[in-house]
A and B are shown apart, each in its own frame.
Chain A
Amino acid sequence: MELLNKDKQIVLRVQNLKKYFPIRRGFFQKIAGWVKAVDDVSFEIEQGKTLGLVGESGCGKTTVARLILKLLEPDHGKIIFRGSDIGEFTEKDMRPIRKEIQIVFQDPFGSLNPRMTTGLSIEEGLRILGIKRGRKRKERLEKLLKMVGMSPDSADRYPHEFSGGQRQRICIARALSVDPSLVVCDEPISALDVSIQAQIINLLKDLQDRLGLSYLFISHDLNVVSYLCSTISVMYKGQIMESAPAEELFENPCHPYTMSLLSAIPDPEPGIKREIELVEPDLSDSLITSNGCNFQGRCSIEEPRCLEEKIGFEKVGEKHFVRCWKAAKK
């Protein structure tokens, strides 16, 4: 199997992805400006690994997920999945590839059809795989439900009979019903309470070990991400600010935004003073950016140069990139 040869295999490579949404104003709906929801995002996900995408709300994480799933059309850039650029695919071209990339949504209440039993919802995927109705499909359904820790007789029940955590398990089962190779988890645990969060994370990790899945794990919780991900990308205002292997990012954060995110993690030990003060949140139109660094105005190490120049990626260590010239110099 692919997993056994040790050489890494890239499942998904995203290059310079951009998505701008027009702001329309006035009677004639003239375009008054652009929201740069995703502005030049690049990353890659290896087979069987997890990439964590972290950032505050509204920074474009979900837009990235929707672009990868082709629920939105990218304006610019490439989405290379297993060697082919699906960014340019039409809806018709996408059909056979769709099942390879699946998603688990944030809201477990909105992501299941309220008028369908969970069994029918999951079977939708099996139908698309071409498994005919009958004993075989039923066995497969039961196997999927067992895999996510649900009893097989929950197949006849409607979503409103389940709790949030159970629904999220069903959503995972539905995503896995088509044998995907990449699962995009769009904040799958943020709507759940803490004890259930741990269960779902363990489930995801377990499934990854068994099935060799790759995840794009989107979250705003660095703690969770550090547990699950091999690589972490920190996003801010549509751009990736810092990208590094998980351990490296925690030991040696370079970007001031990453540092402030890390300092926001509550420490289990009382009495330890925070080294870095939190930056005040930017309450202005957070996605309309001017020249220069996107982090301007909130940065603790800001200099005049940051307001003028477009800041590119600097290499800090192996696989460790940061979008800050000052941090890179240190």
Chain B
Amino acid sequence: MNIDEKGFNQDFQFEAPMAPKRTRLQEFWLLFRQNRLAILGLFIFILFFCCAIMGLFITSGPDPLFDPAMIRLQEKLRPPLAKPNLDSLRREEIPCLGFYLMGTDDLGRDVFARMLQGAWVSLTVGFVAVGISVLIGIFMGGVAGYFGQHHIRVDHILMTILLISGAGLVMAHSIRFGAVLLCLTLAYIFYSFFTQNRSGEKSVPSWAKVFRKSAVSVDTLIMRIVDIMLCFPSFFLILTVVALLPASIYNIMIVIGLTSWMGTTRFVRAEFLSLREQDFVAAVKTLGASNFRIIFRHMMPNAIAPVLVSATIGIATAILTEAGLSFLGFGVPPPHATWGNILSDGKNFIFDAPWLTFIPGIAILIVVLSFNLFGEGLRDVLNPKLRERH
């Protein structure tokens, strides 16, 4: 029986030599290179990334090279490329380039320094928010796609509702009611655990069987949650949540992430539904691999392409949302510069100092456009129908 016991030194006829080996990355690059606009997008993206990282280093710390918070009231609203009036400035107030590359704002702060600082905010907001939404999306979509046909029992749903409301009550300081609910839930969990172990379904009285019936499938539950989430106008949802929470950059990232995972969920679910029926998944299953391994090692790499595309475009949307929130004054709190609040500060001086609105506006436009172009290029390359056949 064992393969090792037999000698397999004798060779069969070997197949003819094959085409030169090309890794997936090389192939991907060959295809991607043909799309000029996508290359432009990638180039701007890399430039923006470098600027943001560089900006973080030269605008922060105790003695930054460019100080975005340095106020020079005598130098306010200077146009771009204007030379500073060296007589009226102290030594440390002189901009390090020797002139104001992007002018100054109404408090005489260097707009270039503020833009650099804001670039880092935009970048982190984009990546962290999309990271959160992609993680949630992949998890929810994966569960809906792979375990979608499993059913959730009525009692499980009831218990979840009780548990959540109990925890909510405890957090809202009505500890007595909350504790009662939590105890009830715990008691039921223990009860069902022990009855299951002893004699299965038989010991359950007939009236309780209603609770053991399956209520909805996992797939239905998750996709209806997605539908509900999509019904909210998400920008106003974010506005409401941000108005309630203390203003901080992390809250904004989390809130944007929590309100934008639905698209990814749908993508991943759709991919999983088709992948689950494929023969290679069945083959891995018959080999004896665990569900976890099937999902993450075998199915996910095949489902990730559309997610990547939507994530790239999602980053652009997140940057826009953050800018919009900052513009409305709900975003990152004032001393910290972001493109949105530079824009918002500048709108009062739009006729006297148009650069205050144009510079961040055009920066947002270019970055968002580059992400969209890159995302679309990525989609074209990753779409198997557009690939040449081998």
Residues of A within 8 A of B (CB): 1-2, 66, 69, 71, 95-96, 98-99, 101-103, 105, 107, 110-116, 121, 124-125, 128, 140, 143-144, 146-151, 154, 156-158, 160-162, 166, 171, 174-179, 181, 203, 210-212
Q: Are A114 and B8 in contact (CB under 8 A)?
A: no
Q: Are B8 and A111 in contact (CB under 8 A)?
A: no
Q: Are A178 and B287 in contact (CB under 8 A)?
A: yes
Q: Which of B37-45, B108-116, B178-186, B278-286 lies at the interface with chain A?
A: B278-286
Residues of A within 8 A of B19 (CB): 161
Give me 19 A-to-B residue pairs in the complex whose CB atoms sit less than 8 angstroms apart, sorted by A's number: A1-B1, A71-B282, A71-B286, A95-B288, A99-B288, A102-B287, A103-B286, A105-B282, A105-B283, A107-B279, A110-B280, A111-B279, A111-B280, A116-B301, A143-B3, A146-B12, A149-B12, A154-B15, A210-B6
Residues of A within 8 A of B302 (CB): 113-115
Residue of B nearest to A111 (CB): B279
Q: Are A101 and B286 in contact (CB under 8 A)?
A: yes
Q: Are A69 and B286 in contact (CB under 8 A)?
A: yes
Which of B14, B21, B283 lies in contact with A111, CB distance below 8 A? B283
Complex Cα spacing A47 to B287, Å = 20
Q: A71-B282, A110-B279, A157-B21 are in contact. Are A147 and B287 (CB under 8 A)?
A: no
Q: Are B18 and A161 in contact (CB under 8 A)?
A: yes
Residue of B nearest to A171 (CB): B283
Residue of A nearest to B303 (CB): A115
Q: Other than the known A146-B8, A179-B3, A211-B6, what 15 A-B pairs have Cβ atoms closer than 8 Å?
A: A69-B286, A71-B282, A103-B282, A107-B279, A110-B278, A111-B279, A112-B280, A124-B284, A124-B289, A140-B4, A149-B14, A150-B15, A160-B390, A177-B287, A211-B1
Residue of B nearest to A128 (CB): B288
Nearest-Cβ distance from residue B327 to partner chain A, whole angstroms: 42
Please tell me the size bucket of the interface on B: 20 to 34
Residues of B within 8 A of A (CB): 1-4, 6, 8, 11-15, 18-19, 21, 24, 278-280, 282-290, 298, 301-302, 390
Q: Are B14 and A143 in contact (CB under 8 A)?
A: no
Which of A107, A147, A154, A156 lies in contact with B8, CB distance below 8 A? A147
Nearest-Cβ distance from residue A96 to partner chain B, whole angstroms: 8
Residues of A within 8 A of B284 (CB): 113, 124
Nearest-Cβ distance from residue A43 to partner chain B, whole angstroms: 20
Nearest-Cβ distance from residue A188 to partner chain B, whole angstroms: 12
Q: Are B280 and A176 in contact (CB under 8 A)?
A: no
Residue of A nearest to B293 (CB): A124
Q: A112-B280, A144-B3 are in contact. Are A71 and B289 (CB under 8 A)?
A: no
Residues of B within 8 A of A113 (CB): 280, 284, 298, 301-302
Nearest-Cβ distance from residue B388 to partner chain A, whole angstroms: 11
Which of B1, B14, B21, B286 lies in contact with A102, CB distance below 8 A? B286
Residue of B nearest to A1 (CB): B1
Q: A95-B288, A98-B288, A211-B3 are in contact. Are A156 and B21 (CB under 8 A)?
A: yes
Complex Cα spacing A66 to B13, Å = 33
Complex Cα spacing A161 to B282, Å = 22
Complex Cα spacing A144 to B6, Å = 12
Q: A71-B282, A102-B287, A103-B282 are in contact. Are A157 and B3 (CB under 8 A)?
A: no
Complex Cα spacing A105 to B280, Å = 9
Q: Are B1 and A179 in contact (CB under 8 A)?
A: yes
Complex Cα spacing A151 to B15, Å = 7
Most A C-beta atoms less than 10 A away, residue of B11, B12, B14, B18: B12
Residue of A nearest to B290 (CB): A95
Complex Cα spacing A124 to B290, Å = 11
Residues of B within 8 A of A174 (CB): 283, 287
Residues of A within 8 A of B15 (CB): 149-151, 154, 166
Nearest-Cβ distance from residue A147 to partner chain B, whole angstroms: 5
